[in-house]
A and B are shown apart, each in its own frame.
Chain A
Amino acid sequence: MFHRFANPTRFLRFAAVVQPWIAWITVILFAVGLYLGLLASPADYQQGETVRMMYVHVPSAWMALFCYSGLAIACAVALIWKHPLADLAAKATAPIGASFTFLALVTGSLWGKPMWSTWWVWDARLTSMLVLFFLYLGYMALNNAFDDPGRGAKSSSILALVGFVNVPIIKFSVDWWNTLHQPASVVKMGGPAIHASILAPLLVMSVAFTTYYLWVLLIRIRREVTANKVHALQMRQASRRGQ
C-alpha cells in the first residue's frame, strides 16, 4: 500500500484530499469529547472534579507512547526498505510526540497536586514520561545536527531504534525503582474497571487526539516533501551556475 506513496507528488495530492476530512473529524470529536468530559459526565466518587483532568492527561500520555512507536516504525522502514517518505514521517512525528509528552507531564503534574499534594512526584509513570521526553529531544537534536539533512535522518533513525529497544528496559527499571501511580484501570483483563460515563469521554478524547495527530502529521509531511523539493532545486541551480 505504501509503495503508491513513494512518489512525493502523489502523496501531496492524496494529502490534499484527505486532510479536510481528518480536520473536520478532529474538530467534531473534540467538541463531543469536551462536552462529554466537562459537562455531561459526573464527578468521580473519590476524586471529585479532578477526574476531568484525566480526559486530557491520559490521551496525552497514550499519544506520547503511540507517537514514539510510530517514530520507531517509520525509522525502521526508512533504514530497512529506504521508503522515501518514511524519513519524513519520522521527522514530522517527533515534535508532535514531544508535545504530547510535555502535555502528559504538565497535566500529570496539575492532576498530581490535588491528588498527592505535590507538583512533582517521582512515580514510575511520570518518571518514564520524563525520560521519554528526553528521548524525543535527543532524536530531534540529532536530526538537526548535520548540514546534510539525509545524514541527520539516518543517524537519528538509528538513535530512535536504539531508544525504542530501551523503552521497556527503562520502564522496567523505573517501575522497580518506584511505585506510586494509580494501577492501570482502563486496559485490564476482563474489561475496563471504570464506569461507562467516565470511559466514554476518555475514549472520545483519545480518538480526537489521534486524529489531531494524523492531521498535523499530514501538514508536517507535506512541509517536508515541499522543503525537499526546494532543496533539490537549489542544488540543481547551484550546480548549473557552477558549470
Chain B
Amino acid sequence: MSRFMSIIRRDLHLAMRQGMDSLMVVAFFVIAVVLFPFGVGPEPNILARIAPGVIWVAALLSSMLSLERLFQADFEDGSLELLALQPVALEITVMAKVCVHWLTTGLPLIIAAPLLAVLMNLPEDGFRVLLIALLLGTPTLSLIGAIGAALILGSRRGGILLSLLVLPLYIPVLIFGVSAVDAVIGGFSDKPQLLILSGILVAALALCPWAGAAAVRQGLE
C-alpha cells in the first residue's frame, strides 16, 4: 500500500511541476466543445440536443491526449524498468499511474464540465447526472487508455496510433454516458445506464491493470 502511495506521490509531484499539462487538457476540452456552436450554429435547442454527446466526446478526446505521457517519460529514462523490477507487482505500479492520470486529467475535466454544460445549453436536469456519469466513466477511460499507452512504448508513431487503438474501446463508455444524461433529460431513470457504467468500471479495475502490466512487460523486453 505504501509503495502504491509513494508512486502516486512521486508522479503527482512530477505532474505538479509541469502544472501546465492539466491546464492544457482542460483548455483543449473547453475549446473542443466551443467549436460546436460555431459549427452547428448558436440555436439553443440544437445545442441542448447535442450537448451531452459533444461534452462526452470532447472529454474522451481530452482524456486521450495526455495518455501518451503515462509511461513514456519513465520508459525513456529507464525508471520504468526499475519499477518493473521492484518486489511490488507491476500491476500496482500501473494502477498508481492510472490514478495520477485520472487526478490530473479526469478530475479537471469533471470540474470544467458544468461550465461547458452551460455553454451548450444543457437542461438543468442534466447537470447532476452528467457529473455522476463522468465520475464513473473517466476512470474507465484512464484504465483502458493505460493499456494503449503501454502497447505503443517504443513504437514509431505513438500519438495518433494510440488514438486509433483506444477510441473504439471507449465507445461503450461513451454510449452509456450520453444515454444516462439523455434519459434524465427525457424524464426517464438513469439507473440502468449508471449501473452499467459502474459495472464497466469494476470490470476495468479488475482487468486493465493486469493487461497494462503485461503490455509494459513486453514493452520492456
Contacts and interface: CB of A to CB of B under 8 A. Distances in A.
Find out whether A and B make contact in their complex, taking CB atoms under 8 A apart as touching: yes
Interface of A: 131, 134-135, 137-138, 141-142, 145-147, 151-152, 154-156, 158-159, 161-163, 165-166, 169-170, 172-174, 176-177
With most chain A CB atoms within 10 A of its CB, the pick from B172, B179, B200, B207 is B172
A145 B172 contact: no
A145 B169 contact: no
A120 B152 CA distance: 33
A159 B200 contact: no
B151 A135 contact: no
Main secondary structure of the interface of B (DSSP, over half): helix
B154 A169 contact: no
Contacts of B175: 173-174, 176-177
Nearest to A178: B175
B123 interface: no
Main secondary structure of the interface of A (DSSP, over half): helix
A146 B169 contact: no
A166 B171 CA distance: 10
Interface string B95-116: 0000000000000000000000
A134 B163 CA distance: 11
Contacts of A142: 151-152, 155, 161, 165
A152 B156 CA distance: 11
B178 to A, nearest CB: 9
B151 A173 contact: no
A170 B200 CA distance: 11
A176 B157 CA distance: 35
A166 B169 contact: yes
Contact of B211 (A145, A152, A158): A158
B12 to A, nearest CB: 27
Given A145-B155, A158-B211, A131 B147 contact: no
Contacts of A173: 171-172, 175-176
A154 B162 CA distance: 16
A137 B164 contact: yes
A146 B154 contact: yes
A135 B167 CA distance: 10
Contact of B214 (A147, A158, A166): A158
